[in-house]
A and B are shown apart, each in its own frame.
Chain A
């Protein structure tokens, strides 16, 4: 599947149109998202902020194709995600999206190298190329020397940097970060945010979820989620 068309630079990376997400049904239904619109262009660094329970994690899960919306459309690189089956979605997650989670989500008892290499294995990249790209990604996050360490041998900040390396190793169209600094001390937070700044400067598209205004201040656009609705706080809006 080749959903990526480098020639069509004007196609937005993310295009969400009147998307809703409802959990449950009837009286107990919870409207996590209400008719949300969001457009993210290539190279943008967007921060989504909101209180816990505001629906921002739901939004990120849908953007990452981990969950499906109840209504509305979601176009990733111009492709309607609703049309894809589970196998095609897995290819999409593999090629187009890089995840960074709050709790790092590294595979336990597995080396940093193997963790970063994982998406490339699922992509079917040859062993030699995998090795090159994995080492390059670890180098970008400054952990080339820790390739053979297991997650429990790394600090929280280092684990999150391994996760960032894993997210960008496939050169995805979109980097999704869900509270990436939520479990980190201030020094590690600084490291990870500087890393994201660097990736942004290199032209990566980043969507970051946070409840921390200081973290959000690093982005060039801030979107606030309140009770399932989006409001643009700063920057451009179509």
Chain B
């Protein structure tokens, strides 16, 4: 009996039991598709967040005020000193801080911004021109405010993409137009490039950027700074710049215990590290879920294969009575389970890969992990062939009379 005949028998048997064949395949299909999709989601999330972090601005360090001891802000409030313009000036001193490239003091406030009949509440950020490179903010049309705007305190603003869309209509470029910020007219001199929701922070597209002097005189007053954005001269000097910031601010704020500072530094590198750890935990979780679904799929295959062979023991008996050698019986069942497993594997890969093209919000997309595809396919085919083959082997060895007696 030739191999071709065995394959014909196998195909005929599969077609004769379409529902059972489909159910068997379903386990493998779902298992493989789940593994591919889940790992692709984890991978996509990782790459997406990585790209968002790199958008925070290279080499920049943000100085934020905080209550000493980290917690218990109210109780320790007496010893807490806010960040001031003096702090910013000290950091900008090239002698005290030779590795610092630029310093951008920042004040911000949440204010009503209106144009015509439209109005909304946006974050208004006042700073110096260095803020743009420091926060990786790019002006798409028009220009950024410059040092002359800052020293003169001119009423100008650079608005985010969403602000322009909301106040002046989608896609508009309202250069030269006026926005009313808490009733104060500011002339729009630039529109920012869209950045998208960044790494779970406030949406930078909803910001209104203006010279620090303008914001202080009109809205916040000349008091404390919200934060100070400091840029290292290069990524190589970032660590040196950080320690210079620490020593200058420690001195100015009278800090003796490094664990009890009333300010803190956040660098993009630090942030990337924290997010990376979070992400690998997240990916591990997804891989775990994927492995479980593959296991459940495998158990499903095993079950149906066992039931299928048991149910067909009588048929095996008939075939043996008609002169089928053990090899033909075993061969037929092996070919059957191989066809099912491989076909289901292909469908599973197709579905899984197709699933990664489903659009997700925020431009985030699933990215297929090739190794996961290979592992999923190999594991399910091995499960299918082994658990299809093992009971078939037992059946092929049965005495024909025992096989025939089964009902």
Contact = CB atoms under 8 A, between A and B. Distances in A.
Interface of A: 61, 64, 66-68, 86-87, 90-95, 99, 101, 105-110, 114, 118-119, 121-124, 166, 170
B111 interface: no
Interface in B371-407: 399-401, 404
Contacts of B17: 109
A93 B319 CA distance: 10
B325 A99 contact: no
Given A107-B315, A124-B2, A66 B323 contact: no
A93 B5 contact: no
A91 B397 CA distance: 15
A119 B322 contact: yes
B401 A67 contact: yes
A124 B322 contact: no
A176 to B, nearest CB: 10
Given A66-B399, A108-B315, A110-B12, A93 B404 contact: no
Contacts of B325: 86-87, 90-91, 122
Interface string B1-34: 1100100010010001100000000000000000
Given A66-B404, A109-B16, A123 B399 contact: no
Nearest to A124: B1
Contacts of B170: none
B326 A118 contact: no
B241 interface: no
A101 B5 CA distance: 25
Q: How many interface residues does chain B have, given as a range?
A: 20 to 34
A122 B319 CA distance: 9
Interface string B317-352: 011111111111000000000000000000000000
B1 A121 contact: yes
B318 A87 contact: no
A40 to B, nearest CB: 19
A91 B321 CA distance: 10
A109 B399 CA distance: 24
Given A87-B325, A90-B325, A121-B1, 12 more contacts: A66-B404, A90-B323, A93-B321, A93-B400, A95-B323, A99-B321, A99-B322, A105-B314, A107-B315, A107-B319, A109-B17, A110-B12
Given A121-B5, A122-B328, A64 B322 contact: no
B401 A122 contact: no
A33 B17 CA distance: 40
B1 A66 contact: no
B326 A94 contact: no
B321 A118 contact: no
Contacts of A166: 322
B326 A90 contact: yes
Contacts of A123: 1, 323
A105 B318 contact: yes
Nearest to A170: B323
Nearest to B17: A109
Contacts of A118: 319, 322
Given A66-B400, A105-B404, A109-B17, A114 B323 contact: no
B400 A94 contact: no
Contacts of B324: 90, 94, 122
Nearest to A127: B5
B321 A66 contact: yes
A109 B322 CA distance: 17
Interface centre among A86, A95, A166 (most CB of B within 10 A): A86
A122 B331 CA distance: 12
A101 B16 CA distance: 23
